């Protein structure tokens, strides 16, 4: 089922820290399936549960439709010091593209949809998508980063 993506940046669900998942239920597995369908329909790279109205620490990444990743209770372990600034968009902020600085690579640990813990080293677009989606889980949108980078330039 295609889910409605929240596009009101002031919606409280997009502005709060998402709750950890304590048990993978049929409802969560169904949500993951629906999120994967939604991301394909929306031509997105990543989608977090809060963007579809669920305040839980879950996101999916569809890297060129060749590999789908599910991240439950993700935690970045390490980020590269080297970074780059690239314009990013967001399914919750249509038609807005903002230059965002991100680390070039990272190491993350999370659980998959079967409840199995995994660690992953990511670089390039996958690393950028992971950082973007974890921001969502922490209530941060790319427009918040614009304000911060504007303030940094003024100081």
* CA dist., res. 69 & res. 54, Å (int): 18
Q: Which of 79, 84, 87, 18 is closest to 51 using CA atoms?
A: 18
For residue 6, indicate whether it is catalytic. Answer: no
Q: Which residues of 111-144 are buried (b: 16+ CB within 10 A; e: fewer)?
A: bebeeeeeebebeeebbbbbbbbbbbbebbbbee
Candidate list 87, 88, 113, 133, residue with the active-site label: 133
User: What six digits make up the tokens of 154?
Assistant: 């003024």
* CA dist., res. 123 & res. 107, Å (int): 9
Residue 87 CA, distance from chain mean position: 16
Specify whether the CB–CB gap between 1 and 34 falls below 8 A. yes
The catalytic site residues sit at 133
């Amino acid at each position: 089922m295609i889910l409605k993506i929240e596009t009101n940046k002031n919606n409280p669900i997009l502005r709060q820290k998402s709750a950890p998942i304590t048990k993978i239920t049929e409802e969560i597995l169904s949500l993951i399936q629906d999120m994967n369908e939604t991301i394909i329909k929306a031509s997105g790279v990543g989608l977090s549960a809060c963007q579809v109205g669920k305040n839980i620490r879950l996101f999916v990444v569809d890297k060129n439709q060749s590999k789908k990743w599910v991240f439950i209770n993700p935690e970045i372990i390490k980020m590269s010091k080297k970074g780059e600034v690239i314009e990013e968009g967001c399914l919750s902020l249509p038609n807005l593209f903002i230059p965002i600085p991100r680390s070039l690579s990272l190491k993350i640990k999370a659980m998959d949809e079967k409840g199995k813990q995994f660690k992953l080293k990511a670089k390039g677009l996958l690393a950028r998508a992971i950082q973007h989606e974890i921001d969502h889980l922490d209530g941060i949108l790319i427009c918040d980063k614009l304000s911060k980078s504007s303030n940094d330039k003024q100081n």
